[in-house]
């Protein structure tokens, strides 16, 4: 038996023993994204069940919430091949993710690349175990697509900065423990005047105000900084060199947003809801639209697989993440439009038990943000045109 095969059977046995039954119902099978079920971790997180807590503890203690991170930073220390096997085994038993977080998905990779040893030791294990939940302080009222025009100011006070300004659209700012934040340390140089800093959301002078979305969810906030003290030990990379880190982190964010896994087949959802006549959906147009969509969606799923294999083989994702982000989020939007069509008038129920408080409608509306958050589709197309196709400015 090869090492990898041995790893697979050990992993399978461990998961069999340690993944609680209620954590195996499998996300991606329901009609909607089921955000309510996700384990985000953090100081304020209320576990939905004992099993959810247990699952996080067990996975966190093995470092399998972040399988490829080094063990000294709380990771699983797995090779890319082993991590792929772990993924496959988790999928096989339809395990829910033990932990989903911006720490794993965005900050971690950036810290691994740009952080000091001390910073990694301080922050990464807490991310791995789900103890600290992070939010992203990038966008501002006047710095959206043109992120580098951000104005939140960090004044140099020797061993610390004093931060003043405002962020907006800060997802889960009211529930996060810490923030990774872009601040201006030099007003005279747009791109080379930005620094990347970390601080506790409980610091004095930080306040948040939730914003409600069209979906009725309120996942993000306006975030205000009023003379917040940030120690220089929490500056990542060099002062005024934060833009490079910010962009690197965005490539991870974008790849993450585009990865919707293998979604439930629309056709079976449609057949379940509407039934068939002579073995086919009665609505011929819907039948065609679903087929056309599923062809694009499956092709995209294979593209994610290919991108991961290329990254594994040492390729640099770079601007390709913009392609994944742009295409993947548009696919997801199209998918939810079809889910709404399949469900007819039921799709628009907004309250009440029957619709699980309007889950279909709210999820559908939530997807509209996919092509805005993490950089809009238009911005991704700009990046492809300039960085990949080398078209003139």
The yes or no reply on residue 171 touching ligand FAD (CB under 6 A) is yes
The yes or no reply on residue 259 touching other proteins (CB under 8 A) is no
The yes or no reply on residue 299 touching other proteins (CB under 8 A) is yes
Q: Is the dihedral of CA 255, 167, 181, 126 positive or negative?
A: negative
Neighbours of 246 (CB within 10 A): 22
Closest among 130, 140, 144 to 177, alpha carbons compared: 130
What is the rounded CA–CA span in Å between residue 21 and residue 6?
A: 24
Helix (H/G/I), strand (E/B), else coil: 228: strand
Helix (H/G/I), strand (E/B), else coil: 167: strand
Residue with tokens 């060099």: 238
**Residue 110 vs 297, nearer CB to other proteins:** 297
The yes or no reply on residue 233 touching other proteins (CB under 8 A) is no
**Residue 365 vs 384, nearer CB to other proteins:** 384
Work out the angle between the directed axes of helices 80-92 and 284-312 (0-180°, nearest 10): 150
The yes or no reply on residue 149 touching ligand FAD (CB under 6 A) is no
Residue with tokens 């995209």: 300
Which window, 93-101, 108-116, 170-178, 312-320, contacts other proteins (CB under 8 A)?
A: 312-320
Burial class of 210 by CB neighbour count within 10 A (0 to 12, 13 to 18, 19+) = middle
Q: Which does 281 bind (CB under 5 to 8 A by kind): ligand FAD, other proteins, none?
A: other proteins
The yes or no reply on residue 211 touching ligand FAD (CB under 6 A) is no
The yes or no reply on residue 360 touching other proteins (CB under 8 A) is no
Whether residue 207 contacts residue 165, with contact meaning beta carbons closer than 8 Å, is answered with: no
Based on the residue annotation, tell me whether 253 is a catalytic residue of this protein: yes
What is the rounded CA–CA span in Å between residue 315 and residue 319?
A: 12
Q: Which two tokens stand for residue 348?
A: 């628009």
Q: Which position among 4, 121, 262, 381 is part of the footprint of other proteins (CB under 8 A)?
A: 381
Helix (H/G/I), strand (E/B), else coil: 224: strand
**Residue 59 vs 281, nearer CB to other proteins:** 281
The yes or no reply on residue 373 touching ligand FAD (CB under 6 A) is yes
The yes or no reply on residue 163 touching ligand FAD (CB under 6 A) is no
- Binders in 317-346 for other proteins, by CB under 8 A: 320, 323, 326-327
Which window, 33-41, 128-136, 233-241, 296-304, contacts other proteins (CB under 8 A)?
A: 296-304
Binding site for other proteins (CB under 8 A): 265, 267-268, 270-271, 276, 280-281, 287-288, 290-292, 294-296, 298-300, 302-303, 305-306, 309-310, 312-313, 320, 323, 326-327, 378, 380-382, 384-386, 388-393
Catalytic residues: 253
């Amino acid at each position: 038996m090869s090492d990898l095969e041995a790893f697979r059977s050990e992993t399978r046995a461990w998961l069999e023993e340690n993944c609680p039954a209620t954590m195996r119902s499998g996300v991606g099978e329901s009609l909607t994204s089921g955000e309510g079920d996700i384990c985000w971790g953090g100081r304020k997180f209320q576990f939905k069940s004992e099993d959810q807590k247990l699952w996080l503890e067990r996975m966190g203690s093995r470092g399998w919430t972040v399988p490829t991170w080094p063990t000294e930073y709380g990771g699983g220390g797995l090779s890319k091949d082993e991590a792929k096997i772990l993924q496959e085994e988790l999928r096989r038993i339809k395990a829910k993710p033990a932990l989903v977080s911006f720490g794993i998905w965005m900050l971690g990779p950036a810290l691994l690349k740009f952080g000091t040893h001390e910073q990694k030791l301080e922050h990464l294990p807490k991310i791995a175990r789900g103890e600290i939940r992070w939010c992203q302080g990038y966008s501002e009222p006047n710095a959206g697509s043109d992120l580098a025009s951000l104005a939140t100011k960090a004044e140099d006070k020797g061993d610390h900065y004093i931060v003043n300004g405002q962020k907006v659209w800060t997802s889960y700012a009211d529930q996060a423990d810490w923030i990774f934040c872009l601040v201006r340390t030099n007003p005279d140089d747009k791109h080379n005047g930005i620094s990347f800093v970390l601080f506790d959301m409980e610091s004095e002078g930080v306040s948040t105000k939730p914003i409600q979305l069209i979906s009725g969810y309120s996942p993000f906030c306006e975030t205000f900084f009023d003379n917040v003290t940030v120690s220089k030990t929490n500056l990542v990379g060099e002062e005024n060199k934060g833009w490079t880190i910010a962009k690197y982190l965005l490539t991870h964010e974008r790849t993450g947003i585009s990865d919707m896994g293998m979604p439930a087949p629309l056709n079976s959802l449609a057949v379940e809801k509407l039934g068939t006549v002579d073995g086919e959906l009665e609505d011929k147009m819907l039948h065609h639209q679903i087929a056309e969509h599923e062809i694009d969606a499956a092709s995209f799923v294979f593209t994610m697989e290919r991108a991961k294999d290329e990254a594994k083989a040492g390729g640099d994702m770079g601007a390709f993440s913009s392609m994944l982000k742009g295409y993947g989020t548009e696919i997801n939007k199209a998918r939810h439009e079809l889910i709404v069509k399949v469900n007819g008038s039921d799709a628009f129920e907004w309250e009440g038990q029957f619709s699980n408080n309007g889950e279909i409608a709210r999820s559908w509306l939530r997807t509209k943000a996919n092509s805005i958050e993490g950089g809009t589709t238009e911005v991704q197309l700009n990046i492809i045109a300039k960085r990949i196709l080398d078209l003139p400015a």
